[in-house]
Structure 1
């Protein structure tokens, strides 16, 4: 983890005692316009999504667009039809890395990552704007997880649950939490 990643983690104050005021509060620790709204890109590896899941993801993406630009990118699982698991992960790893710029702030979703509460996710979104990055890229791995290159490139690794989540469920949880983060940061009421 590089120096900038360490500074962000330190800024997140990931101890149990850190507090932000809950959504809907006008007493948010962030001034309503003080957060630099970096564009968000979500890179997820997987098969074609069900229509129902895609509709729910799209609904949250539209809500997030009120606060910042957001892009949902699906990368086909096993893009070269590899016959073994290791080769598949390597191929997916390369496909993800080809979409990441040098000035992206990369957040990898991983079952062994840091466990964040919603308020800390909001702090992550806010603090990423102070890293010098031009975009936040959230990466969701395929059925066998992330490859070595993305693990080395990631600025931060987080988990959305203590339970292992299917990548499609992880995507839905992520977009919901990103929307919730923005309502926290702006001190606005969360709308379902």
Structure 2
């Protein structure tokens, strides 16, 4: 199984980029993991919130394949503790899924089309984070999940 973090828009802050890249490298020690960035929609000032979500959704859908298992990172999704998330990843690794794709939406969330395409949704928190922070929190939690599954001392109960 391979895990991909698919998101709209690049990480602008070099400090976030550096830390995210460090965790990405760490995760790759345990499982194939990559990040795919879809460019931001241009001229959003002229678009309604709904139209922006629709255009972002179209870009995301073009990237996804029918066989991909798609999980939205969404504040309305199911919440897990770090240990529970590790169990979730382990369970997914035993399924027939080759690609597990976690998706970070644009600033207004996901279009209805993306919600319909998704297999499920996971929440990192009920709080709202910037997209840069979501990438950082997700990659750190994925690394933590890998260390929990290997019984390594990174995570403390």
TM-score (norm 1): 0.75
Which 4+ residue blocks in structure 1 deviate beyond 4 angstroms?
A: 79-82
Larger Rg: 1
Relative to 1, partners in 2 of residues 1:74 and 1:124: Cα closer, same or farther, differing over 3 Å?
A: same
> What does 1:91-130 align with in structure 2 at a 5 Å threshold?
91-130=55-94
Q: Displacement of 1:152 after TM fit? A: 0.9
**Hey, which of these two has a bigger chunk of helix by percent?**
2
Query: Hey, what's the Cα distance between the residues in 2 that align with 1:142 and 1:167?
Result: 8
Q: Displacement of 1:47 after TM fit? A: 4.5
CA-based RMSD of the aligned residues comes to 1.6
Relative to 1, partners in 2 of residues 1:62 and 1:56: Cα closer, same or farther, differing over 3 Å?
A: same
**Unaligned 5+ runs, structure 1:** 1-37
**Unaligned 5+ runs, structure 2:** none
Query: Hey, what's the Cα distance between the residues in 2 that align with 1:79 and 1:97?
Result: 18
Deviations 1:153-191 (A, max 9, x none): 211211101211111111110000000000011111218
Aligned residues: 154
Deviations 1:61-82 (A, max 9, x none): 0000101111111212225756
- Matched residue SS, 1:64: helix
